[in-house]
Amino acid sequence: MLTRFAPSPTGLLHLGHAYAAVYAYDMAEENGGRFYLRFEDIDTTRIRSEFYLAIEQDLAWLGVQWDGTPIRQTDRLPIYQEALEELRSLGVIYPCFCTRREIQKEIEVMGNAPHGPEGAHYPGTCRALTSSEREDRINAGDTHCWRLDTRLAAKQTGSLVFEDEFEGQVVVDAHLLGDVVLARKDITTSYHLAVVIDDAFQKITDVTRGADLLASTHVHRTLQKLLALPAPHYHHHRLILDTHGKRLAKRNDALTIRSLRELGKSPTEVIDMLA
């Protein structure tokens, strides 16, 4: 069994992160497997160098030990680009030239735009462009991102499922999140693409993460099929909530592992808080 914890170095770890890390670590330990640490740091506008070490220190204080050297997504950008080109050759992605304002305006005009767990779907404006129109705009230097054409992707993959420890067998709905972004000009990949590539690279057998990412797994399973990658077993565990019933955020400094350490809490006490 191979599990992983993949935080973003954009802030200090809080109790929610600790729960996810301990969950994955304990599962690997109990099954004689390995546990990996991976930094999802593709959003270079938000990461801070000091948080890499801070995360490692907090995990070590909790007693969470990882195998090998943590990998960083920023060291793997050419690999994601290769995967993007493969998807492009399959004809299942397309360039989108719309700004956020243009997308919002189009959604308002539509009135009944398709929605998913994360809100209104991209209305598909650029999906209708011809190949020559796309190439002309790219050659002209127009800023664009790359989106997954879920209609064409679903046709290529056919029916799919994934196995989740809590939900059982889940039938994939490739359209659940709409035509998601797989790469941008400033960030040459996306969470969806990078996580699929990295899980396959590290041979992760069991992906453990919060229930809030269950919907994203429909996208990930689609990409796995398109790129001929293995499908791990999933564990979308419940989230740690604050006193108002909301998911913990990094801005909640009172519940960071660092703050709890400074208050004199022991690792055992923090683990008991999670329980």
Give residue 247's pLDDT: 75
Distances (CA, A) of 27 to 38, 153, 198: 17, 33, 20
Burial of 148 (0-12, 13-18, 19+ CB in 10 A): buried
Neighbours of 41 (CB within 10 A): 22
How far is it, in rounded angstroms, from Cα 48 to Cα 203? Answer: 28
Q: Which domains does the chain have, with CATH numbers?
A: 1-75+241-275 (3.40.50.620), 77-234 (3.40.50.620)
Beta strands in 17-108 (DSSP E): 34-39, 71-72, 93-96
pLDDT of 252 > 70? The answer is: no
Give residue 154's pLDDT: 97
How far is it, in rounded angstroms, from Cα 113 to Cα 93? Answer: 21
- What mean pLDDT value characterizes the chain? 93
Q: How far is CA 13 from the centre of its chain?
A: 17
pLDDT of 113 > 70? The answer is: no
Residue 118 binned pLDDT confidence (cut-offs 50, 70, 90): confident
pLDDT of 203 > 90? The answer is: yes
Residue 237 binned pLDDT confidence (cut-offs 50, 70, 90): very high
Catalytic residue among 105, 185, 250, 265: 250
Sign of CA dihedral 164, 150, 72, 184: negative
**250 assigned to active site:** yes
The alpha-carbon radius of gyration of the chain (Å, integer) is 20
How far is it, in rounded angstroms, from Cα 110 to Cα 51? Answer: 42
Find all residues with CB under 8 Å of 97, minimum gap 6, and list them: 126, 137, 142, 143, 144
Sign of CA dihedral 8, 10, 12, 14: negative
| Residue in the structure block whose two tokens are 């993007």 | 84
Q: If you average pLDDT over residues 259-271, what whole number do you get?
A: 93
| Residue in the structure block whose two tokens are 């690279």 | 201
Give residue 254's pLDDT: 58
Residue 81 binned pLDDT confidence (cut-offs 50, 70, 90): very high
Phi, psi of 141 (to 5 degrees): 85, 15
| Per-residue model confidence as pLDDT tens digits over 121-158 | 999 999 999 999 999 999 999 999 999 999 999 999 99
Lowest pLDDT segment from 14-23, 213-222, 242-251, 264-273: 242-251
Amino acid identity of residue 157, one-letter, is: T
Q: What predicted TM-score, i.e. pTM, was given to this entire model?
A: 0.93
- Asked if residue 92 lies in contact with residue 149, where contact means CB atoms within 8 angstroms, the answer is yes
pLDDT of 245 > 90? The answer is: no
Give residue 117's pLDDT: 81
Give residue 253's pLDDT: 63
